[in-house]
Amino acid sequence: MSDLRVLDHIARPMQRLGYLKRMTRRVTAMNTSNLENLGHDLIDTVTRKIRVKMNPQRAAYVKVRLMDRAYQTLKEQTNTYLANGVEPPEVSMELQDLYLADPMITSGVGKLVRDDWRKYPALGINLGLIRSGTYSATTRALSLMYLTPELEQKAFLEYLPNSNPLLLSQQQGLLLLYSCLENDGEAVMPLMRQLAAHSGLPNANPSGATFSDRDAGNLLPEIYKAVIARHRTRSLSADLRDRLAVLETSAESIARQRNIEGYSGGTAREHASRVRVEPYVDIGLLTKPDPYRYEYTMSPVGLRWATAFDDIDSSDAIEDFLTKRFFSTAATAWQIPAQPLTDQDEIVAHVQKAWKAINSPGGYAPIEEMGLVAGIEAMLDHGLIIEIAAARQALIDYQRANPYAVRFTVDRMGVLAHARFLEGSAVAP
């Protein structure tokens, strides 16, 4: 994990987190890939045309979201259907449009366009699912695949209206929320606090104050400047200096745009803000009065998370929060009845189950990742809270008592990084 927890390369970013399921399936099926293969596979998959019967939900989506001239015939069919009440015609729609028109989805924006295929993999890289350069799978990608039913992957290959892959399960949402905070926490945590304050934290009425993607974007220059000032007080690598320079340029660009009257809808401000609001609609921290507009309110869940983010700004503070308070905060935010698990053997049993699901061909898995997957399953399936720091300590203590049951590797700083359970080391839950 980089010392700078702010997203890179977010010009026209992918907005719907559900698309990541297809990309991670692609990279987990191949040892290495490249940007062209990954981007084109995603676009070719979601833009495939499907013959379906028109219905009111699809008609509403077509009228509001499909503006391009290429959809002229579809729009004419839709208008005739709505105006004359004729028998629903059979129409040809892109697979992604059918899923985005689903009334169960909380946000119907974020349609991918073919011309931007090379920009979409950046979100998967930013969130630690895809390795930059080789475009291969990380262990986080394996974790997402483990939490994604096969039927949802099949829904990218054929239209399955009851298995919309753009919807997130609570397990998937927790994993991706952790990834978002881990990799963008220095920007999104203060942003969420300020948006919650706009809604009247701590006693906001979620159905009250709304804000737009522009409002969220207008807050980013000062957030970026605070990040830059904090990091420039220490010794920096060349890569980090370059990233801070890009962030500074972005802050200046957004600051100029907020002083311009009118709304063009596609500036650096919107690119930087939408990737920090739309995914949180998928996860449940934000809601939308209208699924087809870029207007939001904080959900009760989001308000509770924003309260937990109070005074967390630095990379070290974010790390401490994620390892020691992430799952207790999630239980409070979603009001999940769960209690902290303290029995060391039970914790190790949950960690070992996670290890079996995500270990590499060499048998090792990152300790943090095992703790994350174990924590998700323990809380949602068993009503137990296992923080990642607790999982790590339980694993260390277990290895001390059973030195031939677990092996560790260390990183270049000498910190325990990966673990492997040896054959016959099953832990009784």
Looking at the fold, whether 176 and 50 belong to one and the same domain comes out as no
User: What long-range pairs does 414-420 form, CB within 8 A, spacing at least 24?
Assistant: 416/367, 416/392, 417/366, 417/367, 418/364, 418/365, 418/366, 418/367, 419/355, 419/364, 419/365, 419/367, 419/370, 419/395, 420/355, 420/359, 420/362, 420/363, 420/364, 420/365
Within a domain: 165:
no
Residue 106 clears pLDDT 50, i.e. is over it: yes
In the prediction, which pLDDT does 87 show?
87
- What are the phi and psi torsion angles at 411 (to 5°)? -85, -175
Residue 2 clears pLDDT 80, i.e. is over it: no
- The 8-class DSSP code of residue 130 comes to B
What's the chain's average pLDDT?
92
- The 8-class DSSP code of residue 114 comes to G
Looking at the fold, whether 139 and 231 belong to one and the same domain comes out as no
Within a domain: 160:
no
Going from the C-alpha of 6 to that of each of 125, 189, 228, 271, 321, the distances in angstroms are 12, 11, 11, 14, 16
* CA–CA distance, 362 with 346 (Å, rounded to integer): 25
- The domain boundary, picked from 154, 182, 204, lies at 154
Within a domain: 14:
no
Residue 234: pLDDT band with limits 50, 70, 90: confident
For residue 391, the domain's CATH number is: 1.10.10
CB neighbours of 92 closer than 8 A, spacing ≥ 6? 49, 50, 51, 74
Within a domain: 428:
no
Residue 13: pLDDT band with limits 50, 70, 90: confident
In the prediction, which pLDDT does 425 show?
60
* CA–CA distance, 422 with 110 (Å, rounded to integer): 45
Give per-residue pLDDT as tens, 45-79.
Answer: 999 999 999 999 999 999 999 988 889 999 999 99
Looking at the fold, whether 253 and 385 belong to one and the same domain comes out as no
Q: Which residue has the tokens 């323990």?
A: 378
In the prediction, which pLDDT does 233 show?
83
The arithmetic mean of pLDDT across residues 85-103, rounded, is 94
The parent domain of residue 386 ranges over: 337-421
Residue 328: pLDDT band with limits 50, 70, 90: very high
Looking at the fold, whether 250 and 275 belong to one and the same domain comes out as yes
Looking at the fold, whether 130 and 86 belong to one and the same domain comes out as yes
- Which of 400, 402, 395, 391 minimizes the C-alpha distance to 424? 402
Looking at the fold, whether 180 and 294 belong to one and the same domain comes out as yes
Task: Write out the two tokens for 348.
Answer: 């190790």
Looking at the fold, whether 359 and 276 belong to one and the same domain comes out as no
Give per-residue pLDDT as tens, 243-268.
Answer: 999 999 999 999 998 877 665 567 88
Residue 128 clears pLDDT 90, i.e. is over it: yes
Task: Write out the two tokens for 244.
Answer: 């801070």
* CA–CA distance, 230 with 162 (Å, rounded to integer): 47
In the prediction, which pLDDT does 10 show?
87
Within a domain: 55:
yes
Looking at the fold, whether 183 and 285 belong to one and the same domain comes out as yes
- The domain boundary, picked from 154, 182, 202, lies at 154
Looking at the fold, whether 144 and 177 belong to one and the same domain comes out as no
Residue 290 clears pLDDT 80, i.e. is over it: yes
Within a domain: 3:
no
Give per-residue pLDDT as tens, 369-415.
Answer: 999 999 999 999 999 999 999 999 999 999 999 999 999 999 988 89
Cβ atoms of 310 and 325 within 8 Å: the answer is no
Q: Which residue has the tokens 């270990």?
A: 359
- The domain boundary, picked from 259, 283, 315, lies at 315
Looking at the fold, whether 125 and 175 belong to one and the same domain comes out as no
In the prediction, which pLDDT does 204 show?
42
* CA–CA distance, 363 with 374 (Å, rounded to integer): 17
* CA–CA distance, 326 with 343 (Å, rounded to integer): 19
Give per-residue pLDDT as tens, 190-218.
Answer: 999 999 987 654 444 444 589 999 999 99
Residue 308 clears pLDDT 90, i.e. is over it: yes
- H helices of 275-335, in order, are 278-283, 300-308, 315-324, 326-333
In the prediction, which pLDDT does 201 show?
40
Task: Write out the two tokens for 165.
Answer: 């892959």
Within a domain: 400:
yes
Cβ atoms of 136 and 33 within 8 Å: the answer is yes
**Sign of CA pseudo-dihedral 33, 34, 36, 40:** positive
Looking at the fold, whether 186 and 143 belong to one and the same domain comes out as no
Looking at the fold, whether 300 and 404 belong to one and the same domain comes out as no
Give the percent of the chain with pLDDT over 70. Answer: 95
Residue 429 clears pLDDT 70, i.e. is over it: no
Give per-residue pLDDT as tens, 129-154.
Answer: 999 989 999 999 999 999 999 999 99
Within a domain: 373:
yes
Q: How many domains would you assign to the chain?
A: 3
